[in-house]
Amino acid sequence: MLESLCTLITALTCVSAVTVLTQKPTVVSLSRGESVIMDCNLGTSTDAGALWYKQVPGGVPQFVLVWYHSWSSVTYGSGFSSPRFTSTHQSTSDYRLMINNLEEGDSAVYYCQTWDGSAGEGTKLIVTSSSLPPPVLTVFPPSRAELQSNKATLVCLSRLSAPFAEVSWLLGDTSVSSGISTSTPVQQADQTFQISSHLSILTSDWDAQKVYTCKVSVGSQTAEKSIKKSECEE
């Protein structure tokens, strides 16, 4: 099987055209013990296999498995095996990755790739449990030096038990759509993850005692933390 894989990859990596792969769903959140199906369409490739990779934010991609429609069995990467991980195809250009009995450690982005090195944009999988704690948030006010100018920055630090989160900001009850910069999760020594999100604001809005709220969701768990100028004054 490995010899066949190497032969196919060697023969097909000479293809100069870039294949456009489509992955679905983009994001999926499930509970521990459930199963997930991720689809990958290889576009114009009609005689190629699908390689799947797992990548945790801040980590290197891990080879999960490869499946080619004419093979008799799946070839796995180190640490991955049946029956938890498997693959099927619906046509010569439509492949699926299936993970059964999900664990929190399965949370990652899963990428589909074909022989010529083209890859999809990934499926973000978030696995949670009923015991998953909500994010812990800390919001920092603008620095005094920044407040001397027209714009300043709020910082929201989030400590999470999973490597993915949805971060948003509110001004009063209105969602903020610009001026936001959010980092990817960084794993800490205690195996938790930290995300920092920066919001650029107008100094005049801060002086007007407007309320800003940082909102972070991990699966079904959501936490919010609000801040305004009067609460930060000594």
Domain 22-128 has CATH 3.55.30.10: no
Digit-coded pLDDT (tens) for 42-69: 988 777 899 999 998 878 999 999 999 9
Q: Is the omega angle on the peptide bond into residue 83 within 30 degrees of 0, that is, cis?
A: yes
Share of the chain above pLDDT 90, in %: 61
Domains in the chain: boundaries: 22-128, 136-231
- Give the model's pLDDT for residue 163: 79
Predicted structure pTM score: 0.64
6 confidence band (pLDDT: 50, 70, 90): very low
Digit-coded pLDDT (tens) for 211-233: 999 999 887 788 999 999 999 86
Note the CATH architecture for domain 136-231.
Answer: Sandwich (2.60)
- Give the model's pLDDT for residue 176: 95
Instruction: Tell me if 22-128 shares its fold with 136-231.
Output: yes
